[in-house]
Structures are given as structure tokens and as C-alpha cells.
Amino acid sequence: MKVNFSFNNYVYKPYSGRQRQYSPQYDTVSFGAMKKNQFDGFNLLCINMYKFPLEKFKTADDLQSFAQEELDKKLDLEQYKTKNSEDTQERLGILAEWKRYLTEENELYANNPALTLIVAGSIVKELKPNNREMPPALNPGVLADTVEQIKNILKDNRECMVDFNKIYRNNLRLYAMGSDETDTGETETRWVVIPSQEHDSENFEDNVERLKALSHRSWCTKSFNARPYLSEGDFHIYLENGKPKVGIRFKADTIREIQGERNNSRIPHQYTEQIEDHINNKYEIPREIKSGIEDAKRIKQKVDNYRLKLANAISQKDFDSILKESGIEVSYDENNKRILSEYRPLDYDFSYADLGINEKELLKGVIEGNADFSNSQVTNLSALQSIGGDAYFNNSQVRDLSALQSIGGDADFRNSQVTDLSALQSIGRHAGFQYSQVTDLSALQSIGGDVGFQNSQEIDLSALQSVGGDADFNNSQVRDLRSLQSVGGNAAFYNSQVRDLRSLQSVGRYAGFRNSQVTDLSNLQSVGESILLSKNQKIKLPAWITEDKIRYE
């Protein structure tokens, strides 16, 4: 499908009024609830996306009213603030531009809340307080083309669930590549050079947006560093099938950095040939960059050797043999359940995925010992039920652990991508959820050691009964700890959102509640040291707690 970026179908009509004037496409006369077959196009898509109650729709205007209410919630920009001031400034700046355009500057959107909700809801969907995701830049022409493109899709399939954000971002990337000669951009494999401010000052602002559009989501040039980096030097991006695989940052004419998709300060070994062909004998290459390229070539050689060695096992999907090559013992119980002695990479320089191995298949069953996924590229571990030892998911790509029931040792989910741990019942030792994406721990009952939830998401911890060590909820979004009975060490709730501690009976050492939302601790039976409060803080305490047990900060 040809994507037109000529702006021919972009109609800009300034909109001065703030009152929405809906333009229903249907008869507003109705003697009962409207039916689904009375809607089509973006209106039907909106109903399907947000599951609006058709039984309450007497006229088409009712849909627009429901959409407007939901849209007002989505466009309350305060909810998209992050912990980082630079990220917040950039994120809210982009969103304010979108909001102004959609609600004031173009009457097509201002007068059609259902369409605008689809657009706005899509661009804010991934924006969370503790991640660094950025909304795509507003390009009115690309937006108009995307709306027209989706309109045509819905004509052919009225019930189709369309990912507006994905299509818009892809079209934005095509525009940034200048790919008028291609159909979709998905087969583009080439280097794209984005000139610096010095080399193309006239188009600097456009080039900043191009860099953001073409950057991998893990690169800081996807957001706040696009401008400063492009102010210093050119930026080269290697696209493979339209997707960014390598980024090369320059300062003047010197290469300062080469990154891959993982953004882990390693030059991606898969693309050493493309990198060398592109930069050799053309640019000044510092010693550390040359050393990094040599390391990447060494790793590539190891990957190639293992691929050759395991070729037969990989082709036959003999996962047990692959694991044994890693020194991992595999056995089966009486029910033919697969048991791994532990789990770790074949080599810490690369992942199983680099060998073309499906890690999800490797991990069916239980892991008796430690499990290290910090270097893993697997995203779905929905078949994994238990880990007997320590579990490391920090900075991993794993997202789905929905069947995991127990972790016997430490559990490290800091900065992880996991969201669903709804089956997890116990963690044997220490646990870290700082800056994690986890939202559901509704079955978790006990943590044996220390735990940190600082700057975490709003997590359902309503079943948690005991923490053996320190419990740190400072600045966390956790609200419900209704079942928590004991904390063995310090309990810190400074600036936290926790409100309900109705079952808390004992804290082994200090209990800190400065600027917290907790108002009732009347069931507390013992505190090892002191209760720490803000001056003038009102909190209901049991009668046995005397002034000498309270310290004001």
C-alpha cells in the first residue's frame, strides 16, 4: 500500500470555539438502545476499543458524550509525569502539542471525540510514571494520512481492531526515511545519515524529529537526547527491514558511540560487517571504539562456533541437549514434568536467542536452582512454574511470568519488563521491585527477607502477610496492604501511597510514616525501636505507644 506524504489530504481548519459541536453520522431519532450494526468506521472502532455500553446509547450523540468523558481523562496531562524532570518536560511538551492540535486547532478532531479518543488513547497508552517512553511527535500531515489509511481498512473490515499507534509510528518512520519509493518501508535495509546542526542548520528541527522517529525505543535519542546529540554531530542509523539495529553517534567528525538494540554499551556482534564496511577509512575512530569492534567480532566468532557445534540439536529442537551443553542437568519426575537443575546463559557474552533458539521451549517445567535471565532475550515465560533458588530478571526482556508460583531465594525484578506475577505466592529471601513494571502480585503472601518497592507501579499486594526483613515502600504507588501482619526489620512508608495497614501487628525495628497516607495503626502490638512521624501528623495509634516510642522528623 502506497503511503502518501505529499500532504494533499491534510486539511487544516483553525478551531476557535471550545464547545464541542458533534456531527453525528446517524439519525438521532431512536425509540430504544442503538444496535452495533448502526455504527461503523471510527465510531465502531471506538466502541470496540473502550467497550462502551451500547445499551445506554439512545442516539449517536451518546457515543460522542461517552467518548468526550473518556477523552477528558486521557488528556489530563499531570498523570503522565515521571520521576525524571527532563523526561517529564519533554513528555508533557509533546503531549501539550497533541492536546492543543486535537482539541483546538483542527475541527475534524475537535468535533469528533470518538475519533480523537482513538488517537489520544493510542499515543498515551504506554506512558507510565516509572518508564521513559515518549509519545510520537505530532506531524499533522502524517496524522491525516494515517487517519485516511485506517478509514480504508475499516471500510474493508468493519470489526477490525486497528493499532493506531503502531500504524502512525510506522508512517512517521517512513516520512523520516523519505521513503516515497517504497510501499511500507518494512523491507528497507540501509544506512540513514541524519546531518548535524552544523551540516544542515536550515533543517535542524526537522532532523531532530527524524532522529527521534528512526531511533530504537531503547535509545535516548528516541526522546530527550536527540537534540543535544544532533547539535554535536551527525547520527547514522542502520535499518534492517525498516527497523533500527545500529546507531552511530558522532561529535564533529569523530565517532563517539556505537549502540545496538539492547543499548548495553556493547557494539552488536551481529552487525560488525555492516559497521566496518560503513565506517572504515572514512571517519576518525577512537581506540575504545576500535576495541569495542574487536570484542564484537570475537563474540560473533563464538556465536558462529556454537551454532556449528549445536546445529543438529537446534534443527531438531533437542532442547535437553542444548541445556546440557550449558552444564544444566535435565530430569523428569513421575508425571513427566521437566526439571532443570538451574538456568543461565550458554555464555554471558550472548543469549540463546542469538543462536536461533526459542528460550520459551527451553524453560517448560520447573527450575530447582538459580535462574539468571538478566541477559536473556526471551519475552514469554508463561509455562514456568517455580524457581528453587535465586531469580534475576533485572533489565531482562521477560514480560510474561503469569504461571510462576514460587521463588525459593532472592527475586530481582528491578527495571524489569515483567507486569504479571499474579500466580506468585512466595519469595524465600530478598526481593527488589524498584522501578519495575509489575502491577499484579495479588497472590503473594510472604517475602522471607528484605524487599524494596521504591518508585514502583501501583501493585496489588492485598494478600501479602509477612516480610521477614526490611520493607521499603518509600515513594511507591502501592496502596493496598490490608493483609500485612508483620515486618521483621524496618518498615518505611515515607511519601508512599499506602493507606490500609489494618492488619499490621508487629515491626521488628523502626516504623517510618513521615508524609505517608496511613491514618490508622490501632492494631499494632509491637515495635522494636521507634515510630517515625512528621510534626503535626495525625495518625491513630494504640494506647500502649507512649511518647518515648515516637520520634518526630
- The pLDDT-based confidence of 187 (bands split at 50, 70, 90) is low
Say yes or no: 149 and 196 in one domain. no
- The pLDDT-based confidence of 203 (bands split at 50, 70, 90) is very high
Q: With beta carbons less than 8 A apart as the criterion, state whether 428 and 408 touch.
A: yes
Please tell me the predicted confidence (pLDDT) of residue 479: 82
Intra-chain end-to-end CA distance of the chain, in Å:
65
In a domain, residue 118? The reply is yes
Least confident stretch, 284-288, 309-313, 452-456? 452-456
C-alpha cell at 35: 444496535
According to DSSP, the β-strands at 531-533 and 511-512 are parallel
Q: How far apart are CA 300 and CA 56, in angstroms?
A: 61
Least confident stretch, 28-37, 115-124, 137-146? 28-37
Please tell me the predicted confidence (pLDDT) of residue 130: 67
In a domain, residue 101? The reply is yes
Please tell me the predicted confidence (pLDDT) of residue 219: 87
In a domain, residue 8? The reply is yes
Q: Which of 280, 309, 338 is the last residue of a domain?
A: 309
Average pLDDT of the segment spanning 41-63: 88
Say yes or no: 163 and 198 in one domain. no
Q: How far apart are CA 180 and CA 234, in angstroms?
A: 23
| Top-confidence residue, 74 or 12 | 74
Say yes or no: 20 and 141 in one domain. yes
Q: Which of 172, 203, 221 is the last residue of a domain?
A: 172
Say yes or no: 236 and 282 in one domain. yes
Say yes or no: 76 and 202 in one domain. no
| Top-confidence residue, 10 or 540 | 540
In a domain, residue 57? The reply is yes
Mean pLDDT for the chain overall:
86
Average pLDDT of the segment spanning 469-492: 90
Residue of 419, 423, 383, 418 lying closest to 407 (CA atoms): 423
In a domain, residue 476? The reply is no
In a domain, residue 219? The reply is yes
Examine the pLDDT at 4 and tell me if it is beyond 60.
Answer: no
Say yes or no: 165 and 215 in one domain. no
In a domain, residue 178? The reply is no
Residue of 69, 75, 186, 81 lying closest to 128 (CA atoms): 81
- Collapse the DSSP code of 48 into the 3-class scheme (helix H, G, I; strand E, B; otherwise coil) and give the result: helix
Written in H, E and C, the secondary structure of 379-394 is CECCCEEEECCCEECC
Say yes or no: 77 and 200 in one domain. no
Close Cβ partners of 73 (under 8 Å, ≥ 6 residues apart): none
Please tell me the predicted confidence (pLDDT) of residue 32: 64
Say yes or no: 167 and 230 in one domain. no
Residue-wise pLDDT for 212-260, tens only, equals 889 988 888 887 789 999 999 999 999 998 889 999 999 999 999 999 9
Task: Write the DSSP assignment of 498-543 as a string of letters.
Answer: --B-TT--EESS-EE-TT-S--B-TT--EESS-EEE-TT---B--T
Residue of 176, 233, 237, 248 lying closest to 199 (CA atoms): 233
In a domain, residue 437? The reply is no
Q: Structural domain tally of the chain?
A: 2
Q: How far apart are CA 493 and CA 499, in angstroms?
A: 10
Q: Which of 262, 290, 309 is the last residue of a domain?
A: 309
- Which residue segment(s) compose the domain that 236 sits in? 189-309
Please tell me the predicted confidence (pLDDT) of residue 184: 43
Say yes or no: 262 and 149 in one domain. no
Q: How far apart are CA 39 and CA 289, in angstroms?
A: 58
Say yes or no: 102 and 144 in one domain. yes
Residue-wise pLDDT for 11-31, tens only, equals 333 333 333 444 444 344 444
User: Could you tell me what percent of the chain has a pLDDT over 90?
Assistant: 48
Q: How many CB atoms lie within 10 A of CB 95?
A: 21
- The pLDDT-based confidence of 179 (bands split at 50, 70, 90) is low
Say yes or no: 165 and 216 in one domain. no
Say yes or no: 113 and 226 in one domain. no
| Top-confidence residue, 471 or 174 | 471
